[in-house]
Amino acid sequence: MSTCLDNIVSVSNPCSNEKAFNTSGYDLLDAPEINLSNISQIANSDQPNGYEFLKAQLKFAIRDVVNDFISVLNTNNLITQLVSDQIITGQFDNSLNNPIAGKCGITINRNQQYYEPNSIKRLTIHSVMIFPVDDHEKTNLFIQQGTVIKTFPIKLIGGKINKYSINYKSEGNDPIHVYLENIETYSSELTCLIGCNGSMPNQCGFVKGYKNGTEIQKEGFGINIAFSCDCDYESLLCRYAKSYVGKIIYLKSRANILQERLNNDRITSFIIYGREHATELHEKVENEYRETWNSFVESLPNLLINDSDCINCKRVKIVVNV
């Protein structure tokens, strides 16, 4: 799930004097029916207090909205591509080895000339394969894009190809450096240069070797990567956080929380009393959610007109699913 979705609607921490950051202007604690002391009465063992319960319900609401959105795109044949073929950067050769030499690995560059402005295509690293000479009980794999470095603790078995599922999604257009530090490896000859997977040129991206901040040709220093460029349809929801999606997630969260209250069979004053009012409020919030959702879906042909590399813009009739 796109990380930008996590910040569309917030749940402010009751122990803080500041509102939590969000991109839509909606915070669940602003809902008139939400009171943390009362909400705590419907929290379960997985969410020991009202605050954790609200965060969990927000996460569930985001998941529901994403699934509904993808369903709408599918129903209307708007999706041009869900998953593309994975590209392997090269091939290993254990007849050659690379001595310890600092930060060594691979750089992946997006092929910018094949991306439309504001394209929702994102480069994803699915897995990383490493062919070390020796065992390393504890070491780290690094992925750097711009000034952001992510660290993945790993264990390496010498003389074998070690494979790790990463599922790293690029942020922005900066090159992605994938490297180890001070690890002796066997050679990995890079084959995904100008062209990859029989495509010349490769419209997703191309790779080079990486050694201590410098890009070099053809040697991947014991690392191979499986990557692809896929349409990130979830990021479209982030694009319309203020105009539609923030309100949609806010209303969906409230509707789900009210439903949890109505389904709860605990004997507490909050659960027993006010059930009729909660039922009426739930219906009202559900109706507002459906109206907002349908308005959003009906506006999609105009909103998506500039995303032709991932959206079939020839479709004009939109079918809603809520």
pLDDT of residue 91: 93
* pLDDT at 55 exceeding the cut of 90: yes
Could you report the per-residue pLDDT of 232-253, keeping only the tens digit for each?
888 888 888 999 999 999 999 9
pLDDT of residue 316: 40
The strand ranges marked E within the chain are: 9-10, 26-27, 87-88, 90-98, 103-110, 121-130, 136-145, 148-156, 162-169, 176-181, 185-190, 205-211, 214-216, 223-231
Of the candidate ranges 19-23, 144-148, 190-194, the one whose mean pLDDT is the lowest: 190-194
pLDDT of residue 1: 56
For 88-124, letters b (16+ CB in 10 Å) and e give: ebbebeeeeebeeeebbbbbbebbeeebeeebbbbbb
pLDDT of residue 66: 92
Of the candidate ranges 198-202, 226-230, 301-305, the one whose mean pLDDT is the lowest: 198-202
What's the mean pLDDT in 18-39? 89
CATH topology of domain 87-233: Jelly Rolls (2.60.120)
What's the mean pLDDT in 262-267? 77
How much of the chain exceeds pLDDT 70, in percent? 87
More confident residue, 37 or 124: 124
Backbone angles phi, psi at 180, to 5 degrees: -110, 165
Of 189, 283, 292, residue with least CA distance to 240: 292
The domain ranges of the chain are 87-233
* pLDDT at 275 exceeding the cut of 70: yes
Taking the model in full, what pTM does it have?
0.75
* pLDDT at 296 exceeding the cut of 80: yes
- How many residues belong to the chain? 322
pLDDT of residue 166: 92
